[in-house]
Amino acid sequence: MDKKFKLMKDVKHKDGKQKDVNHKDGNKKEGSRKDIHHRNNIHLKRIELKKINVKELYLLYDFIIVIAGIMLMILLILVFLNPNNKHAFLGAFITGGFMNVMNGLKLTKDPKRKSMGMTFILFGIIIGFLGFIML
């Protein structure tokens, strides 16, 4: 077990008896509040941090891309309803560029498609700046 995953550790004394020692302090007084709390929660020996899997990371990228796509559709409807609305036009360009950048970041995680991901990121940034230029 790794030290960063341990909250409490067991220490053997010279007598051969095992005593629970707080990991941070190194010492614990018998009958103290921490000792009583530790005895009540003896089954909670360690706390493990949840590691993010690669699949969960891809799902996070997909979730962000879907939210940006919904936002892009709403902004495009606003642009078609009122073509003079420059703020909706700018928002649509920025959202489209952001979607491209997120797709590029997702592709850069795969070594085989890394160069294609870089071009997605580049074109996403260009689309975002193009919206500012056309404003």
pLDDT tens digits, 57-109: 778 889 999 999 999 999 999 999 999 999 999 999 999 999 999 999 999 98
> Are 58 and 21 within one domain?
no
User: Whole domain around residue 68: which residue ranges?
Assistant: 54-134
At 27-54, the pLDDT tens digits run 555 555 555 555 555 544 444 555 666 6
- Point out which residues pair with 11 in neighbouring strands: 19
> Are 20 and 81 within one domain?
no
Distance of CA 86 to the CA centre of its chain: 33
Segment 119-126 long-range contacts (CB within 8 Å, at least 24 positions apart): 124/96, 124/97, 124/98, 124/99, 124/100, 125/97, 125/101, 126/97
What length is written for the chain? 135
Q: Is residue 46 included in any domain, yes or no?
A: no
